[in-house]
Amino acid sequence: MTPPNEAVADQRSRDKDKSEGGVKSEGGSHLISNKKLGDVVLHADNISLSFGGVKAIADVSFEIREREILAIIGPNGAGKTSMLNCINGFYHPQHGTITYRGVTRSQMQPYLAAKSGIARTFQNVALFRGMSVLDNIMAGRLLKMSGVTRGLADRIVEKSPALSAVRRAKRHPLLKFGAIPLSWIPAALVSTADFALEAIRIGPAEREEIENRIFVEKIIEFMNIQAIRRVPAGRLPYGLQKRVELARALAAEPHLLLLDEPMAGMNVEEKEDMCRFILDVNDEFGTTIALIEHDMGVVMDISDRVIVLDYGRKIADGSPDEVRANKDVIDAYLGVSHDD
């Protein structure tokens, strides 16, 4: 296995080679042109969300269209992340509805959002730090697995009193929260349980794993992270961790991809790489994207449409050029002087 430092150095070399002719703008011009958008994928209608006496979102309505890159911008605390959390079910608005692909729900559940094709990345990197890049991306395939492996494992455990006892013991609150060490469970029982779960990797279960692994390898190649595929995620630089998180979201084959500040904390070169990947995902996979971003150069370059929030209210909705010239946006967010 390649040492982590050498793998990261090799990865940076690959990025430099691939970035030639990458995403660059001339004078902040919009990079998207003549792109045909589809029907409305998601419609948010009068969404309101409060935390006690604090109103995070107030009667916000908007639409996201097929193949669109929609940017949601605004000052800190404007309600941007809260809006994404409402879309994929982390928060439940007190008023309003969200219609996604023709199905209207007042309270979307996260598991229903994931099953229906909504994937998400977060402001703070949410990877399994001790797992390799490959295993992190494989985790994104969970909902695409048929359940053959999980169902067979459940049946094996149910038929064995010893394995059932191990499962119950592992779920006990004292073990779950560390009050009693897992090592207190007899080693023979644990090893028997592990062996049984490993033994099911045959027939349809094995074929399913191979198919999902092939798909993940394609994502790794698409994201240009072959050199770090075996490196634990926690050992990677921040910019590469962000890329791995995007790869894991793509492994779920999302119809709608929600990106919460995907370029936060990145340097200029890393931002250019991430811009290129976002545009490629939208262009090659046809994935609809809604993103939150504070870098106005990035927003104006890659977005088809921009929504601006301020104190939980929508103050602008239009093309990048329209939003750039909007007086309310200038006053609330950009801080650029203008003539009355």
Sheet holding 95-100, edge to edge: 54-65, 40-51, 95-100, 103-105
201 lies in some domain: no
By the 10 Å C-beta count (0-12 exposed, 13-18 middle, 19+ buried), 334 is classed as: middle
State which of 20-29, 57-66, 104-113 shows the largest mean pLDDT: 57-66
Q: Residue 142: is its pLDDT beyond 50?
A: yes
Greatest mean pLDDT range, 143-147, 173-177, 325-329: 325-329
- pLDDT score recorded for residue 149: 52
CATH code assigned at 130? 3.40.50.300
Give the range of the structural domain holding residue 46, as residue numbers without chain letter. 4-145+206-334
Q: Assess if residue 156 is contained within a domain.
A: no
pLDDT in tens, 65-114: 999 999 999 988 899 999 999 999 999 999 999 999 999 987 778 888 88
Q: Is residue 183 part of a domain?
A: no
The verdict on residue 224 lying in a domain is yes
For the chain, the average pLDDT equals 79
Residue 158 lies in a domain: no
**Is 95 a domain residue?**
yes
Between CA 119 and CA 246 the distance in angstroms is: 9
157 occurs within a structural domain: no
How many other C-beta atoms are found inside a 10 Å radius of the C-beta of residue 281? 21
Calculate what percentage of the chain has a pLDDT beyond 90. 50
Q: Which of 167-171, 174-178, 251-255, 262-266 has the lowest mean pLDDT?
A: 174-178
pLDDT band at residue 335 under the 50/70/90 scheme = low
* Chain segment 285-305, per-residue pLDDT in tens: 999 999 999 898 899 999 999
The H or E element that residue 250 is part of is helix 238-251
Burial class (CB in 10 A: 0-12, 13-18, 19+), 209: middle
The pLDDT score that the predictor gives to residue 11 is 55
d(CA 12, CA 20): 13
Task: Name the domain count of the chain.
Answer: 1
Residue 181: inside a domain: no
- Judge whether residue 270 has pLDDT over 70: yes
